[in-house]
Amino acid sequence: MTNVTVVGSQWGDEGKGKIVDWLSERAEIVVRFQGGHNAGHTLVVDGVTYKLSLLPSGVVRPGKLGIIGNGVVVDPWHLLKEIAAIREKGVDVGPDNLRVAENACLILPLHAEIDRLREEARGAAKIGTTGRGIGPAYEDKVARRAIRLCDLADPATLKTKLDELLRHHDALRKGLGFAPVDRASLEKALAEMAPQILPYADPVWPFLDEAVRKGRRILFEGAQGALLYIYHGTCPFLTSSNTVAAQAATGAGVGPHAAGFVLGITKAYTTRVGSGPFPTELTDAVGQGLGERGHEFGTVTGRPRRCGWFDAVLVRQSVRVGGIRGIALTKLDVLDGMDELKVCVAYDIDGRRYDRLPAAQHLQARAVPVYETMRGWKESTRGARSWAELPAAAVKYIVRIEELIGCRVAMLSTSPERNDTILTADPFAGV
């Protein structure tokens, strides 16, 4: 058996929460390895809906260990609120089943403040940030001035690091015309929060190393999607972390071999939240219908998602860049009842045909999709649990997607309920 790494293959919101929950029943350890509380995973278990953003999705299942790795930027106040909220739903979460990497960097209130201030200053050129401080926290991380979880345990270290952090942020705020950070209030908030969060702090990498050596099943859970990847996404409309499977190793503190089978969660159509290029976007009644049937609203922000046809060019790019070995195709049922479906197979940019999305922003903005039209189906696929229950046209659609992206469909989701899933290949078996 092998470990499994779950990543998004589009712009996020592909339905990772349900798939991770489905897989976590067979895993012993579930690890979040990047992102922050800008990500939202929705789980529906026995009719109960859980909305998670920092907690690993496996935490709702008894007997599973959840780990927040060093690749995640952690808002400790949000994490404590999320733990309290899920406890109210009867889920037991504590230091015995949740561990946070002691070297994880923290998101502080000043990060959210500067995030919003800079987004407002951009005016019409907004990049669509959630305003939760994720980008600024990653900036401080790579600049070596971030406050880490372990720093909360030593007041002297914390004071020195705050000196360095505020030297930068106060200058930045002054340039934007705002007052310096209220250091006294920040220090008080940190002092009050530290005793609550430090019991979760742990050097998780030695534990994971031992777990890998013993062959324990580990599920690495990614957030967002490959098209928001800081290196190969649609710059500058990106998240600030590495969203592909390679980050599972560095974001958890294990070797690259531990990532195992890479499963790319892929929606049967395409959605995007916020600004940025979207070649197959539909601004007509068809796009509105997809949004309504798919309940396309961001889990974290509540913002309506932009909807469009399936873009095989982008998913193929995600498969190749991210090392995806199988996809979990979600929300097939949203396409039920449509007369015809379109799939983007290439782009036309200024009369030249592209089989990839160019990195240059001006070319991305001019990408016109080249479509292949397929017959839709009138029958319902919702709740199907075997290939025999699917309409022939739906099967043809799935097979054509496999051909175009160069990757097989390992799992098929036909509703938000965890058991409405068709398994064609076992990710934990590595096949």
pLDDT at 55: 92
User: What is the mean pLDDT of each successive set of 10 residues along the chain, which is 431 residues long?
Assistant: 90 84 89 86 74 86 93 96 93 94 97 85 69 89 96 96 96 91 96 97 96 95 88 83 90 93 96 90 94 79 85 96 94 95 98 94 95 96 93 97 97 86 86 61
In the residue annotation, 333 being an active-site residue is answered as no
The number of helix segments (H) and strand segments (E) in the chain equals 12, 20
pLDDT at 16: 83
Q: Are 110 and 88 in contact (CB under 8 A)?
A: no
In the residue annotation, 295 being an active-site residue is answered as no
- SS3 state at 100: strand
Cβ density class 81-112: b for 16+ within 10 Å, e for less: ebbeebeeeebebeeebbbbbbbbbbbbbbbb
- Count of residues in the chain: 431
Nearest to 227 by CA among 305, 134, 321, 298: 321
pLDDT at 431: 61
pLDDT at 377: 96
Identify the active-site residue in 13, 75, 140, 311: 13
pLDDT at 302: 65
- SS3 state at 387: helix
pLDDT at 301: 59
Residues in a beta bridge with 348: 353, 368
Q: Are 17 and 8 in contact (CB under 8 A)?
A: no
Residue 272's φ and ψ, nearest 5 degrees, are: -155, 140
Identify the active-site residue in 37, 41, 169, 232: 41
Q: What is the per-residue DSSP string for 227-269?
A: GG-TTTSSTTSS-SS--STHHHHHTTT--GGGG-EEEEEEESS
Non-local CB neighbours of 325 within 8 Å, separated by 6+ positions: 261, 262, 263, 407, 410
User: pTM of the prediction?
Assistant: 0.91
